[in-house]
Homo-oligomer: A and B are copies of this chain.
Amino acid sequence: MAKIITISREFGSGGRELGKRLSEALGIPCYDHQIIELVAKEYGFDQNYVAHMSEKDIVAAYPSTIARGFLAPNYALQQSVQIASAQHRMIRELAEKGDCVIVGRCADVILDDMHPMNLFVYADQQSKVARCIARAAKDEDITEKEILKKIKQIDKNRAEYRKTFADGSWGRKENYHLCINTSGKEIKSLIPGIVSYIKAWYGEPS
Contacts and interface: CB of A to CB of B under 8 A. Distances in A.
**Copies held by the complex:** 2
A190 B179 contact: no
Interface residues of A, number: 29
A192 B173 contact: no
B201 A206 contact: no
A122 B178 CA distance: 10
A178 B185 CA distance: 13
A156 to B, nearest CB: 17
A180 interface: yes
Contact of A189 (B176, B181, B191, B203): B203
A179 B185 contact: no
A79 to B, nearest CB: 35
Nearest to A197: B193
Nearest to A200: B193
Interface of A: 120, 122, 124, 171, 173-174, 176-181, 183, 185, 189-201, 203, 206
Given A178-B178, A185-B201, A192-B196, 7 more contacts: A173-B181, A177-B181, A178-B181, A179-B179, A193-B196, A194-B197, A195-B196
